[in-house]
Structures are given as C-alpha cells and as structure tokens.
C-alpha cells in the first residue's frame, strides 16, 4: 500500500475534506512543514503532496522512496523538475481550477476601490447618516464602468474571462500580450505604454517571468490616468511595490488592488504598508484563487492525478516517467 503525505494542508483550508485521499494508502497530514522538517516527513513516502514547500535535489536525494509529487497549484517552481526527471519522479500539477474564483475577486477588488462601500457603510452605522439633513451622501464620488476602457495584461484563460465580463459592463477591452505571441481577434491588442495611457482599469493576469519581472515601474505607472485603478491578480514582482507606493502617495493614481505581493507573507517593511492614503490601496493575502468550490476542485484533481498515476495513465503531468 502506498504511503502519502501532505506537507502544507493549511493552504487548502480546514473546510476541505482530505479524507478522499486515504483511499490511495496510508496518509500523513501536516498543516505546515518547515525546511528542516521536509526530509524526515517524506523519507519513507511514495507520494508527496505540496503547495509551496520546496522539494529540490538536496531534499529529494534523501528521500529515495518518492515516486510521485503532486503540486496543489498550477506553478511548479518549488520543484526541481530537472532532478525529478533524472530520478524518474513523476510530477503533476493542476491548472484551470480557480478561474471563476479569480475573476470574481478581480471585480470584488475593483468595486471596493471604485465605490468605497466600506466608507459608506461606516457613514451609516456611525450615526452620521441619521444626523444628515439630506437623503444621500456624496463625499466620495465614483464613476461608471460603462463606456470606459479596461486594459488587460495577460489575456490567458483568466484574462479572457475578465475581458468577457468587462465587456458586459459596457467597457472597451484592450490587452497587452506579455509573451508577444497571444493574438485574440475579439479584443484590440496594443503595446504596454498605449494600454496604460488609455485604460481606466488595468488588471494583471500574467505569470512572473523574465518578461514580466518589474514590468510596471515608476515611469510606466506614471503613464496611467490619475483616476485609473490598477489590479494585480497575476504575481507579485510584476509591479514594483516601492514605485507603486510612491505613485499613490503622489496622488498620481486613483487606486490599486493587489492580491499578490513579491514576498508572501508580506514583509513588515514593505513600503505599501506605509502608504499615506490607505483608502487608495486594497491588499488581500493571495486569496483570489481560494473559493470553496475552487479548493474542492483542486483536491478532486489531485485525487484524479494520483489515481491516474497508480493505474499507469498519468494526467496533468509536468514530468513523467512514462
């Protein structure tokens, strides 16, 4: 009977039933795993399930039993794929499980920044509205999406879904291909500088690589309209965080919403935490992917990957021995 372990179960949430993985063998579940705990926990395991715990050659060399690594994410940068290939270890990932969740969070972040619901809720509940002489309160104006331009950086699966919804709101959608290879006739493809100058909303749905690292720095952020809203749901490192903090403090941008940061958890000295006008900035702790439905889909796909491997038909495989 195979032996399995999950190294960082807390990243899947306490409301997800891991019991379905017990059908495959003896399962050890660890909420989190520190670097110095990895070898001991995987040494006698055949199947290792991980989200962000690093499994490099230094670790895997000490775990000769490992035959399958299941990454509970799309990205596999925490796995030494070259070593896995040389050792004959199959590595599988999961793609597309969180598209709807990320798209939903994109619009949630936009409306939080655009419509100031927290401010207006506080205005009512604090008693200020009860003492008002008029029926409304107009201290924080907002604008409609209809007729505005939405610029998308990275028109992949998530970017296309965001584009479709933005168009339903009456937006003109333009996009910038970070690879230079993406062409979609449904939307206008433009260069990055043009997108930043034209868009009222800019949302990022691109991976972090050599083409996107530090893509939006001070000079490019300055190209954006002063009322525009920037949303990063791609990866931290695409937006220069110090430059974004500076742009916000200088009042050159309407607002920014970030679900991803260059360092996660956030560094205590991150300049974004010291932005003066805090209402211009909305940061969530990398949760866009994490609806209950998305996490359940993720776990089901992991189970399917394990079942496929054990029956000799690997699926969603990054590195395979087949």
Q: Is the pLDDT of residue 317 over 80?
A: no
What would the 3-class secondary structure string for 62-115 be? CCCCCCEEEECCCCCCCECHHHHHHHCCEEECCCCCCHHHHHHHHHHHHHHHHH
Count of residues in the chain? 322
131-136 contact pairs (CB < 8 A, 24+): none
Residue 318 has a pLDDT of 72
Q: Does the pLDDT at position 238 exceed 80? A: yes
State the Cα–Cα distance between residues 267 and 237, nearest whole angstrom.
13
- The answer to whether the CB of 68 falls within 8 A of the CB of 51 is no
180 band by pLDDT with thresholds 50, 70 and 90? confident
Give the pairing type, strands 26-29 and 47-50.
unpaired
Confidence at 213, pLDDT banded by 50, 70, 90: very high
Domain ranges of the chain: 3-97+292-319, 99-283
Q: Is the pLDDT of residue 319 over 80?
A: no
Q: What pLDDT is recorded for position 320? A: 60
pLDDT of residue 16: 93
- 229-232 and 47-50 beta bridge pairing: unpaired
Q: Which CATH architecture has domain 3-97+292-319?
A: 3-Layer(aba) Sandwich (3.40)
Cis peptide before 64 (omega within 30 of 0): no
Mean pLDDT, rounded, for 24-31: 97
For 13, 16, 297, the CA distances from 303, given in Å and listed in that order, are 16, 13, 10
- Percent of the chain's residues with pLDDT above 90: 94
CA dihedral in degrees (163, 185, 182, 79; nearest 10)? 40
pLDDT the model gives residue 322: 44
**Res. 61: pLDDT tops 90:** yes
Give 62-79 pLDDT, tens digit per residue: 999 999 999 999 989 899
> At 314, is the pLDDT very low, low, confident or very high (cuts 50, 70, 90)?
low
Q: Name, in order, each residue with C-beta under 8 angstroms of 90's C-beta and a sequence gap of 6 or more.
A: 67, 68, 69, 84, 309, 314, 317, 319, 320, 321, 322
- The CA distance from 66 to 53, in Å, is 15
- Could you tell me what percent of the chain has a pLDDT over 70? 98
pLDDT averaged over the chain? 96
Q: Indicate if 99-283 has the same CATH topology as 3-97+292-319.
A: yes
Q: Hey, what CATH topology would domain 99-283 get?
A: Rossmann fold (3.40.50)
Q: What is the pLDDT of residue 75?
A: 87
Q: Do the Cβ atoms of 63 and 39 come closer than 8 Å?
A: yes
Confidence of residue 321 (pLDDT cuts 50, 70, 90): low
Listed range (113-122, 178-187, 249-258) with the worst mean pLDDT: 178-187
Q: What does the pLDDT average to over 29-39?
A: 98
Which residues have a catalytic role annotated? 235, 264, 286
The whole-angstrom separation of Cα 316 and Cα 50 is 15
**pLDDT band for position 181 (50/70/90)?**
confident
Question: For residue 50, is pLDDT > 70?
Answer: yes
């Amino acid at each position: 009977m195979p032996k399995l372990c999950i190294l960082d179960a807390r990243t899947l949430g306490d409301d997800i039933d891991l019991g379905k993985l017990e059908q495959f063998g003896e399962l050890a579940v660890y909420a989190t795993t520190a670097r110095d705990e990895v070898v001991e926990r995987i040494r006698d395991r055949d199947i290792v399930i991980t989200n962000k715990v690093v499994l490099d050659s230094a670790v895997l060399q000490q775990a000769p039993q490992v035959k399958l690594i299941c990454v509970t994410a799309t990205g596999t940068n925490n796995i030494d794929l070259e070593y896995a290939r040389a050792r004959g270890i199959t590595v599988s990932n999961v793609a597309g499980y969180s598209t709807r969740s990320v798209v939903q969070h994109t619009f949630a972040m936009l409306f939080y920044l655009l419509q100031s619901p927290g401010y207006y809720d506080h205005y009512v509940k604090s008693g200020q509205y009860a003492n008002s002489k008029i029926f409304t309160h107009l201290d924080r104006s907002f604008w409609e999406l209809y007729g505005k331009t939405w610029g998308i950086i990275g028109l992949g699966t998530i970017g296309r879904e965001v584009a479709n919804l933005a168009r339903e709101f009456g937006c003109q959608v333009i996009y910038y291909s970070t690879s230079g290879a993406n062409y979609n006739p449904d939307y206008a493809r433009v260069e990055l500088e043009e997108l930043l100058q034209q868009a009222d909303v800019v949302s990022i749905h691109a991976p972090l690589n050599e083409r996107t690292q530090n893509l939006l720095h001070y000079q490019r952020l300055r190209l954006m309209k002063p009322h525009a809203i920037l949303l990063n749901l791609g990866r931290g490192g695409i937006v220069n965080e110090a430059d974004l903090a500076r742009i916000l403090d200088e009042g050159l941008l309407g607002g920014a919403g970030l679900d991803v940061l260059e360092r996660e958890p956030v560094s205590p000295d991150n300049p974004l935490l010291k932005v003066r006008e805090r209402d211009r900035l909305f940061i969530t702790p990398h949760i866009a992917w994490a609806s209950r439905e998305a996490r359940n889909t993720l776990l089901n796909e992991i189970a399917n990957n394990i079942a496929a491997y054990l029956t000799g038909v690997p699926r969603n495989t990054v590195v395979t021995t087949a």
